Amino acid sequence: MMKLAIHNLSKTYGKRSILDQLSLEIDRPGIWALIGPNGAGKTTLLDCIANLQTPDQGSIDILGLPNTDRKIYQKFAYLQDNRILYPELTGLEHLKFVQKAQGLDKERTAQVIEEIGIADYVHRPVKSYSLGMKQHLLLALGIMIEPELILLDEPLNGLDPASYIQTRNLLLKMAKNGSTIIVSSHHLNEVDQLTDQLLFLKNGKLIERSLSTVGQVYQIDTSDNQLAFQALSKTFPLYLKDNLIQIDSHEVSLDQVMRALTSLPIQLLSIHPVQGQAERLYTEIFGEEKKE
């Protein structure tokens, strides 16, 4: 069954086109990162999927049903930012509301509290929570129904390193257990560690990319990088960044470059993979626009 099917979705604000005949189909569990600069329409797209905004045209099906069918919310969750939380209520009161509204067993609330690790503050009012605590509560609310499809708008925002690792591992576990997850995030380095399935939103359309097909970028340092670059770039597509040589294994074999390097009167000092593949793809697609 198709987890999410979007066909020819369009949305305008005044004369500005935000979504333009956008289409997307996801038919399997996993994590997809939704990426784009400020104003690209990421939140608008998520709102339209969740039927919180009405598109000008197009159709959206969730788990085989139109997104206007309330039955989807038995296995579909959308986590917006923490402004949806009620400051005067405790975290537990939020969870109990979802538990009763969805007809879940009381034990499910206890399971989620333990799984997310919010027992130390779940009895406190939300107005006393830090940003990271609010993010954890939102995630707890989202997984109460053990959703097959879940949309997350900046779930990693404001988390300290330990909380980020915990949240990342939970999302990976959910995907492994069969959930389909779409994460809107502007933390591109974190995206690299979360998923290799990327959805870039540009000019109202989605550009799908997989890091597994991009190739790994390696950074090479020698005793004379200028000489090495001048000699090798005549044969291989190399890049010089911060006076260090970079190669993309998708464009050229690392072994070939290494063999050619040994013929030069220079010494190899180091070679290591470069992180930040999502950021590199972002730059290729959007140029040097400011990342959200």
Contact 172, 164 (CB under 8 A): no
Banded pLDDT at 202 (limits 50, 70, 90) = very high
**pLDDT digits over 112-155, tens only?**
999 999 999 999 999 999 988 998 999 999 999 999 999 999 88
Mean predicted confidence (pLDDT) in 213-220: 75
CA angle 231, 234, 237 (to 5 degrees): 110
Q: What percent of the chain has pLDDT over 70?
A: 96
Selected residue with higher pLDDT from 129 and 192 = 129
Q: Is residue 88 predicted with pLDDT exceeding 60?
A: yes
Q: Which long-range contacts (C-beta less than 8 Å, at least 24 apart) are formed by 107-116?
A: 108/144, 109/144, 112/140, 112/143, 112/144, 113/140, 115/140, 115/143, 115/170, 116/140, 116/143, 116/170
Mean predicted confidence (pLDDT) in 195-199: 91
Q: Is residue 292 predicted with pLDDT exceeding 50?
A: no
Residue 69 pLDDT: 97
Residue 289 pLDDT: 53
Selected residue with higher pLDDT from 256 and 20 = 20
**DSSP run (H or E) holding 285:** helix 277-286
Residue 146 burial (CB count, 10 A): 16
Selected residue with higher pLDDT from 289 and 176 = 176
Residue 286 pLDDT: 87
Q: Given the structure tokens 């140029």, which residue do they identify?
A: 287
Q: How far is CA 234 from CA 183, 218, 229, 257, in A?
A: 41, 18, 8, 12
Q: How far apart are CA 24 and CA 36, in angstroms?
A: 16
**DSSP run (H or E) holding 189:** helix 188-194
Q: Is residue 290 predicted with pLDDT exceeding 50?
A: no
Residue 214 pLDDT: 63
Q: Where are the beta strands (DSSP E) in the chain?
A: 4-13, 16-26, 30-35, 57-62, 65-66, 76-79, 149-153, 180-184, 197-202, 205-210, 217-222, 239-241, 244-248, 268-273
Domains in the chain (CATH in brackets) are 4-212 (3.40.50.300), 217-273 (no CATH)
**pLDDT digits over 73-86, tens only?**
999 999 988 889 99
pTM: 0.79
Selected residue with higher pLDDT from 287 and 244 = 244
Q: How far apart are CA 82 and CA 154, in angstroms?
A: 10
**pLDDT digits over 250-277, tens only?**
678 888 888 899 899 999 999 887 756 7
Q: Is residue 190 predicted with pLDDT exceeding 50?
A: yes
